[in-house]
Structure 1
Amino acid sequence: MIFSYNKEAVGDILMVVTANAQDKAVDSESKGAITRIFIQEDGTTVGWNFFDISRTLGNLDGRGQIFLTKEQLELLNRLLTEVSFKETIEDDGRPKIVVGFVKECHKHEDSDHLSVTQTEVDGGEVLQIVCGAPNIQAGQKVVVAKPEAMMPDGSMIWPGNLRGVDSFGMICSAKELQLPDAPREKGILVLPEETEVGISFPQIKKSLSILS
């Protein structure tokens, strides 16, 4: 679930991405100030647009992905009900870009540059992530963009498959995180060993003094 708001770029519209359309043909239907976006083939909802949203949620501060409170989510669902949409929006409230720990790392069997990792994120969850960085190795503290994360450039992270191996997220470089003075060399951002696993990356972003 991705919530995105950028009044300067697109107007007073809250965009909600609920699923990956995977290049399938999509259509839309509108009721009141809400537009539902769905896959033509099977009707699966992949997104919502809430127009003039500041009338309901007040002034939102964001230039990309934002995070809503439980109360704000309840207000969105009330808007859906008021215009007779039957679906509701549910969000687990967990951060999407977090500090991870690479527990295992081995070479991809069908690639000379990819590695397959088992990386712990928040809540003790372990994700299999395929990584192409030359400096990836077991034992590192890293930044993980989990599925449903929106990156600083607006791109979204979804589960994928790289050369026959499923991958559930991305281990990020400083450049992908748009950190200042990011190294030009290819490679993931390696965090200090004492960094807490599972913490939201924005919480520690300002405290970083070393990029590697």
Structure 2
Amino acid sequence: MNINMLYYLGSKFSSNSFTVNSISLTAEIDDKGKTDAMKLLEGQYESFTFPIVFKHVSGKNHCDLIGTGWGILYLISDRMKKLLEENNLTGWKSFPVEIVDNKGEKIQEVYHGFSIVGRSGSINYKKSEIIEKRLVPNGPLSKYYKGLHPGMENWDGSDFFLPEKHWGIIVTQKAKDILTERQMKNLVFQNLAEIEIGVNAILKN
């Protein structure tokens, strides 16, 4: 699978979009180096009691993909869940959530936690092009990796997947086309061939 046919999936940053924050999830790192958000994203549910409760914090427009206050964790609408099921898209599963308003009352719109269980090998930055850019006019040149190359030799063939030790959601061309054609709201796709990541940011990690 060529990276020109693979995409990062994320949400738009809009003040009008319905957004929630978790009430019970913590940022503590367990003995395996995982936070609650990482475990839920990866579909590791053993340590959780469901439903996971979220509180509405901003926005009124109920979209199909909504942020949770954790950059890697999303909720999906019932409409999007049904679309994924109807089209037999693979590599994901959902978990029960409950969303309450400022008064603690449950909202009527149905959402589901979104986990990614498809996998590939780790990102290989040696395959990326190295480019130089100035962030500001007359500023210093900085080096960037252009193009994100998951280890597709170890890809399980899923439409939604996470590379090893990486928490950015990647989708296939098939999944992107279906989600786009059905006009799922608040989704953003970034082609892996166009992604740029600072070299220093990777070296520090």
The alignment's TM-score, normalised by the length of structure 2, stands at: 0.29
Structure of higher CA gyration radius: 1
The alignment's TM-score, normalised by the length of structure 1, stands at: 0.29
**RCO (CA 8 Å, sep 6+): is it higher in 1 or 2?**
2
